[in-house]
Amino acid sequence: MRKLITIAALLAATPAHPQASANVAAGRAQPSPLAPSEIVNAAPKDDWMAIPPSDLLVMDLAPDAKDKPRRVVIQLMPAPFSQGWVSNIRKLAAAKFWDGTSINRVQDNYVVQWGDANAEDKTKARKLPGDLAVVLQANYSSRLGKQEVVYSLQSAHPLGQDFITDGAGSKTRWYPIHPSRDAYAEGTAILAGWPIAVAPRATATDKELELSGWPVHCYGMVGVGRDMPPNTGTGAELYAVIGHAPRHLDRNIALVGRVIEGIEHLSSLPRGTGALGFYETPEERTAIVSIRIGSEVSGLPAYEYLSTESESFARYADAHANRRDAFFIRPAGGADICNIPVPVRRAK
Amino acid sequence: MRKLITIAALLAATPAHPQASANVAAGRAQPSPLAPSEIVNAAPKDDWMAIPPSDLLVMDLAPDAKDKPRRVVIQLMPAPFSQGWVSNIRKLAAAKFWDGTSINRVQDNYVVQWGDANAEDKTKARKLPGDLAVVLQANYSSRLGKQEVVYSLQSAHPLGQDFITDGAGSKTRWYPIHPSRDAYAEGTAILAGWPIAVAPRATATDKELELSGWPVHCYGMVGVGRDMPPNTGTGAELYAVIGHAPRHLDRNIALVGRVIEGIEHLSSLPRGTGALGFYETPEERTAIVSIRIGSEVSGLPAYEYLSTESESFARYADAHANRRDAFFIRPAGGADICNIPVPVRRAK
């Protein structure tokens, strides 16, 4: 029997013991002895969703010491999240703002940051396009819709697919993950291919919740550098996460995308020795040749992600939370949102 | 009023809303506008605990392309955790087993692994010292003592110091962190300077719990490579975590220490392009000149860690969970165990 309940009720119903809840989760997604990567490899073609090239940001760095090309491909954040900054980033790419800028900061277990190294020096700073929006802090999170959160109360599964319905009545299947077991938010989920955190607010009727959500700082996520608040940054200064998820940044800085290919060209850069990992000399910086929207890049491969509404994804997430392949002796019975990365690949 | 309660009861009592619980936590550790690093810098000398050189493992890699030395300093895991493997590692270092071996695997957002690259080839493999112990899987976790978990029921603080008492009646102050908000374990804590996860088991009396615990796979932790179970590895093959905490490995592989200096010499290495990040050619490997116990290394600096029983640490952990310094607009109200790294530094 499916029943409408609040997230608060779900929290109370969630089993306290990860080991116990693993069995509950198994009732939804069939247990599999396959490793997560094997499940991804076996996923049928229809489970993969094309990523439009117009939603990609392609950063070409100067070749490495062995003259090998270094390309980093970023998927931009979809609506309803961070669209003011994403719009600015499209304008900056169109204006070729980043061509000739550099990677200026590499802080171990934290972030790689790039942009105009002279941004703080008014006499040397590059001119920003004139039409960039000033985005308000309120946009760090987004309304997901006045909606019902429909859970199966009896199973109270910590992993499982369900639906949210937006204000227009459109249904989206989503993937709540351990709603009660996140240290940073009341709930986490994977929605339309992206890891998010959620907060419910009561509405006039007790059968509906107003749900807001925001993207979370997992490994590889790309965010917008900014000055002190209320400044929110324009998007001209960007960073990628290269360490343990710095979730304390959630809702304090805008997230605008994620690296889907070439993260190693960022994560393996020499760490900066200045404060916060900034390079101390210009020579240490890595030059950025160009940053373009994917639809402007000729010969770019097609990319696709594993639909987070597919049964393959359900099995993949379950396998992350419960490793049953031969190497493991003890399934964890859970996984945090950042340890269930959405699979992305070049289209086959 | 302090009262003896079970962890299960505490779970039920923990506030569901991180924002709300932030205020509760503030009742224990005074709110501070300082950033965590500033709190560490301001900690009095007495809050720092010396790390004996005999508990260090010093790995010297071949110099880098610019002929700069590369030293990685590892602190070995203290009792009661993983001592069978740690003992093996001491024997391997004494036998100079690793001198002339190499770093063979660098997998992005996962691990760097080192040891004898020919270990799988019986005709070429190095001879292991004859007196290495075969350690059982049961040693992936340890009994922490038949003990009382004493929490303050009224505050039900998600962050706060408390005590555990071992079988001999010896009290240790520890630092439980968000017992109800970890996706992998019933509880997490920082105990004697180390991040651990815990599981309680009921005893004959309902006033006592048998508490077992195990170290967790945070960034920089060092573990023991192994073959398929029931093999548990000897300690000859080691890895360090260089990405988001792979907590699914907890209790599936032994953890024997953590990198306290020089992690950047591992985390910034080129990623291997073979399966699992193994290098495909011997030339790509980084040579290990030597690995020694710290007490055998002349001129080694003294290291110390911030006592996790100190008030400074309480403030530091609270500040991680509730960033109140000027850059932040929204404290998270929580932090996961791996986002509260125990501060370690060269002694001043």
What is the per-residue pLDDT for A166? Answer: 56
On average, the pLDDT of chain A sits at 84
- Take residue A285 and report the two structure tokens written for it: 């910086």
pLDDT at residue A13 above 80? no
d(CA B85, CA A227): 48
Higher pLDDT, B72 or B203: B72
Report the residue from A183, A252, A264 with minimal CB separation from B336.
A183
Residue with tokens 């790390």: B51
Report the residue from B182, B228, B329 with minimal CB separation from A229.
B329
- The alpha carbon of residue A156 is apart from the nearest alpha carbon of chain B, in Å, by 15
| Chain B residues with CB-CB distance to A209 below 8 A | none
d(CA B58, CA B303): 12
A109-125: buried (b, 16+ CB within 10 Å) or exposed (e) per residue? bbbbbbbbbebeeeeee
Interface pTM, i.e. ipTM? 0.88
pLDDT at residue B30 above 80? no
Asked if A16 and B11 come within 8 Å (Cβ–Cβ), the reply is yes
Q: Which tens digit of pLDDT belongs to each residue from A236-272?
A: 999 999 999 999 999 999 999 999 999 999 999 999 9
Cβ A215 vs Cβ A224: under 8 Å: no
Strand, coil or helix: B107: coil
Q: How confident is the model at residue B311 (pLDDT cuts 50, 70, 90)?
A: confident
Cβ B213 vs Cβ B226: under 8 Å: no
Q: Which tens digit of pLDDT belongs to each residue from B62-104?
A: 999 999 999 999 999 999 999 999 999 999 999 999 999 999 9
What is the per-residue pLDDT for A189? Answer: 84
What is the per-residue pLDDT for A204? Answer: 67
Report the residue from B108, B327, B330 with minimal CB separation from A264.
B108
Least confident window among A136-150, B195-209, B242-256, B309-323? B195-209
Cβ partners under 8 Å of residue B281, min gap 6? none
- Take residue B9 and report the two structure tokens written for it: 């009861």
pLDDT at residue B315 above 50? yes
Cβ B83 vs Cβ B216: under 8 Å: no
d(CA B75, CA B59): 11
pTM above 0.90, yes or no: no
d(CA B337, CA B216): 9
d(CA A264, CA A317): 24
What is the per-residue pLDDT for B211? Answer: 77
| Chain A residues with CB-CB distance to B248 below 8 A | 320-321, 323, 328, 332, 335, 339
pLDDT at residue B206 above 80? no
Cβ B188 vs Cβ B182: under 8 Å: yes
* CA A89 to mean position of chain CA atoms: 17
Least confident window among A12-21, A106-115, A177-186, A209-218? A12-21
- Take residue A245 and report the two structure tokens written for it: 């998820």
Mean of the pLDDT values across residues A219-241? Answer: 98
Asked if A329 and B252 come within 8 Å (Cβ–Cβ), the reply is yes
Higher pLDDT, B216 or B200: B216
Asked if A244 and B246 come within 8 Å (Cβ–Cβ), the reply is no
| Chain A residues with CB-CB distance to B328 below 8 A | 229, 248, 252
Asked if A252 and B329 come within 8 Å (Cβ–Cβ), the reply is yes
d(CA B143, CA B200): 10
What is the per-residue pLDDT for B153? Answer: 31
Query: Which amino acid makes up residue A194?
Result: W
- The alpha carbon of residue A92 is apart from the nearest alpha carbon of chain B, in Å, by 25
